[in-house]
Amino acid sequence: MKELALRSLTGAIIVLSIVGSILLSKFTFAGLFLVTTVLGTYEFYKTLSNTNYRAQTIFGTIISGILYIIVALIALGYLNALYLSIVLVLFFIIPIRELYRDSKYPIPNISITIFGILYVGLTFGMLNFLFYHGFKGEETFHFILAFFIIIWTSDTFAYLTGISIGKHRLFERISPKKSWEGFFGGLIAASIVGYVFSIYYSDLNTITWIAYAFTISIASVYGDLIQSMFKRSLNIKDSGNILPGHGGILDRFDGVFVAVPVAIVFIMLFS
């Protein structure tokens, strides 16, 4: 009971922080996720501490933060895409630094360092593009707000449906508790959220809003499964413990990592 209360309190704080930052301004949101990026990247590297591989933790975390800032500023219209070349230069410093570490596994070390930067820094940076209406360039908070509410609703109802009537395993090798019943329960709930958004916001028509929710829900499941695959391969339960009752940053935002690029492409094509 105490753990459930703690989990609920942490979840409420996360939701209020994200929704509040979205409604307050795109800059507040960008600042919140800069902090999330730094913590998430560092956490990603720390999950590998019990392996033979040694990511360039501090340097990789710094580059991830820089990449996030550049992508966010591009998304918000303050930089052009050419500034991404700064990060490309920094990427080439990673193998140079590896020369001086005398490691037995330089290629995995370099690969893990770069992957952490792209997986966390690039993905979270791309969230800022959801403040805009595709190619029209019109500013709106509707897509980014819907994005998170869809994921949260899908996760919640997938869990509730799964523990209630779940019998058929979705991907037992990776996540033994997930069920097809839970998957469809989350999908239906997400589609309802899409319909509700269509009532209040005319950025998309009803069918397209529902399709947006449907697509994000499916993509978020893959994000969840990928994170489960990582943890299973490392034989760990949670990626961290910074969020009481929820584990780590990567645990809480696992669905986001696949859903973000999918959502952006969807808006570009159909809005």
CA angle 143, 147, 151 (to 5 degrees): 165
Which residue among 90, 106, 131 closes a domain? 131
DSSP label of 178? E
Confidence band of 10 (pLDDT split at 50, 70, 90): confident
Confidence band of 255 (pLDDT split at 50, 70, 90): very high
Lowest-pLDDT range of 146-160, 163-177, 190-204, 214-228: 163-177
Q: Which structural domain, as residue segments, surrounds residue 2? A: 1-131
Residue 222 burial by CB count (10 A; 0-12/13-18/19+): exposed, middle or buried?
middle
Which residue among 131, 158, 184 closes a domain? 131
Taking 80 as the threshold, does the pLDDT of residue 245 lie above it? no
Domain count, the chain: 2
Angle between helices 206-234 and 256-270 (to 10 degrees): 160
Across the range 235-245, mean pLDDT stands at: 79
What per-residue string of b and e applies to 72-94 under the rule 16 or more CB within 10 Å gives b? bbbbbeebeeeeeeebeebbeeb
Encode pLDDT of 166-175 as tens digits: 788 888 888 8
Average pLDDT, whole number, for the chain? 91
In whole angstroms, what is the distance from residue 171 CA to residue 71 CA? 34
Q: Which helix (H) or strand (E) holds 175?
A: strand 175-179
Q: Are residues 93 and 222 in the same domain?
A: no
In whole angstroms, what is the distance from residue 66 CA to residue 38 CA? 10
Which residue among 98, 131, 164 closes a domain? 131
In whole angstroms, what is the distance from residue 5 CA to residue 24 CA? 28
Q: What pLDDT score was predicted for residue 141?
A: 94
Across the range 213-228, mean pLDDT stands at: 94
Q: Are residues 248 and 166 in the same domain?
A: yes
Q: What pLDDT score was predicted for residue 169?
A: 86
- Sort strands 169-171 and 175-179 into parallel, antiparallel or unpaired: antiparallel
Q: What pLDDT score was predicted for residue 119?
A: 96
Q: Are residues 152 and 223 in the same domain?
A: yes
Q: What pLDDT score was predicted for residue 239?
A: 83
